[in-house]
Amino acid sequence: MKDRYDVIVVGAGPGGSIAAKNAAEKGLDVLLIEKRQQIGDPVRCAEGVGKLTLAAHIKPDRRWISADVKGSRIYSPDGTMVEMNEVMSGDEVGYVLEHKLFDRALAQEAAKAGAEVQVKTRATGLIMEDGFVKGVHIMQHGEMFDVRSSIVIGADGVESKVGRWAGIDTTLKPNDIETCAQFLVIDETIDSDYCKFYLGSETAPAGYIWVFPKGNHMANVGIGILGSQSGDKTRAITLLQAFIAKNMPNSKVIEMVVGGVPVAGPIKQSTTNGLMLVGDAAWQSDPLTGGGIINAMDAGKIAAEVAYEAIQKGDVSEKGLANYEKRWRKTIGKEIGMSLRVKNKFIKLSNDDLNSLAHSLDGVNIDEMNVFKLLYMLFKNNQKLMWDFKDMFADMVFNSS
Ligand code: FAD
């Protein structure tokens, strides 16, 4: 490790590795640090990603793809199933990754592009001078180092400290975080063609249960519920165990993870002098689905491009980095803002409401629709229920015309 770089990226998740790769490709001198000794392990993810959105960042490789699915099946509380192809299903359905290998492949890409990658290397604080972030205090193998940089990119995930160290409020309230638990299970009944989602207040209050196939009769079976819904009788893990006991009684659990996803919608501030936050550290995951891999990668790329521009211009102040705020808010921010509105409505839907929405799509070939037509169909058949969405619906009509 040198004592100075153009950019230090904290955290080698999808957001950090893509930021490091893109910054290095632009010719910047980049250090990527990861506190764990093995990048990507343990996996705290259901590993679902959309194919098209992923291909914008990296060429798909069989070595880190566990399953290639046809689409999704969503089950309402009374068991009514709505099926969608992968394009309609959004950014979390297409491939189910082997995340450990995927995260490692992204870090390798960063290294190949010229970034220096250091594992078992933890950021413990920021070097702050004259109101600017000037580098990172780093602990490696029990020793402390100060490493300086023009820009720090904080990609340290949902438990991010980098933002807080720089004075950005990244505190999440219980209503702003999805509490997740997930088992990797083996079961003969697993359908390898579809990612499945189960809704209902008894199944997953203000959330859902997922079954994402991994091939060889394995699947990630997990649950995400709003932190505010978690109580003695509604702990995520207890609900998940009940679901598995009922629906997959002969399954065997071979791995378990717990974790959280920010579902608060766009954060107020993601830059300050010398610093940008990306991915879960900047609450860029989708508030409705909890998916954040693609958004983290998209944001990482934007942050790298803005870092390059700012360093070229010699202005790494908050103003010099304003293009990062502008660009991600126009794309990712707009989408997660819309998802937040849908989520706020979704969490208030009763089981009867969910059943009614599912029934209204019975016999409809959703695969031949785009999101606009799907919303229109839902709106037409459930006017009272969908009334709160009328503004959003109008926005979509406006934007698509
Ligand atoms: P992370 O992937 O969290 O990476 C942050 C990295 O920073 C970690 O490697 C961490 O060790 C490192 N780090 C933290 N602090 C420091 C430090 N001080 N110094 C050095 N390194 C540090 N998203 C999807 O798109 N599809 C899914 O199917 C999906 N399923 C999910 C299921 C569960 C149970 C959970 C919890 C999340 C799921 N997500 C899913 C969300 C997705 O995992 C995250 O949105 C995504 O990983 C965010 O990427 P990131 O790079 O911002 O952060």
Both 80 and 122 in one domain: the answer is no
| Distance (Å, whole) CA 112 – CA 30 | 12
Across the range 291-312, mean pLDDT stands at 97
Count structural domains, the chain. Answer: 3
> 186: buried, middle or exposed (CB in 10 Å: 19+, 13-18, 0-12)?
middle
Ligand 1 midpoint to CA 360 (Å): 36
52 found inside a domain: no
Record the pTM. 0.94
C-beta of 136 in contact with ligand 1 (< 6 A): no
196 CA from centroid of ligand 1 (Å): 22
DSSP helix/strand/coil, 36: coil
Query: Are the C-beta atoms of 338 and 391 separated by less than 8 Å?
Result: no
Phi then psi for residue 224, to 5 deg, are -130, 125
Q: State percent of the chain over pLDDT 70.
A: 94
Residues 305 and 240 in one domain: no
* Same-domain status, 88 and 109: no
pLDDT of residue 396: 58
Radius of gyration of the chain (CA): 21
Task: Specify the pLDDT at position 142.
Answer: 93
In this predicted structure, the answer to whether residue 124 has a pLDDT above a threshold of 80 is yes
The whole-number average pLDDT for the span 326-334 is 97
Distance 40 CA to ligand 1 centre (A): 9
Q: Cα(237)–Cα(226) distance, rounded to whole angstroms?
A: 13
* pLDDT one-digit tens code per residue, 25-56: 999 999 999 999 999 988 889 999 999 999 99
Residues whose CB falls within 8 Å of the CB of residue 374, separated by 6 or more in sequence, listed in order: 88, 361, 366
The whole-number pLDDT of residue 401 equals 46
Cα of 306 vs its chain's centroid, Å: 21
Judge if 106 and 254 occupy the same domain.
no
pLDDT of residue 231: 77
Residue among 31, 44, 72 to mutate when testing ligand 1 (max atoms within 8 A of CB): 44
Range of the domain at 220: 68-97+174-262
Range 302-323 average pLDDT? 98
Distance CA 350, CA 357 (A): 11
Residues 24 and 107 in one domain: yes
Domain boundary, last residue among 311, 341, 371: 341
* Averaged pLDDT of the chain: 92
Pocket test for ligand 1, best of 184, 293, 332 (most atoms within 8 A of CB): 293
98 in ligand 1 pocket by Cβ < 6 Å? no
Instruction: Copy the structure tokens of residue 301.
Output: 């790329």
Region of poorest pLDDT, from 103-117, 254-268, 326-340, 379-393: 379-393
Q: Are both 194 and 285 inside the same structural domain?
A: no
Residue with CA closest to ligand 1 atom 52: 279
Q: Is residue 400 pLDDT above 60, yes or no? A: no
Quote the pLDDT of residue 87. 81
**Segment 7-21, tens digit of pLDDT:** 999 999 999 999 999
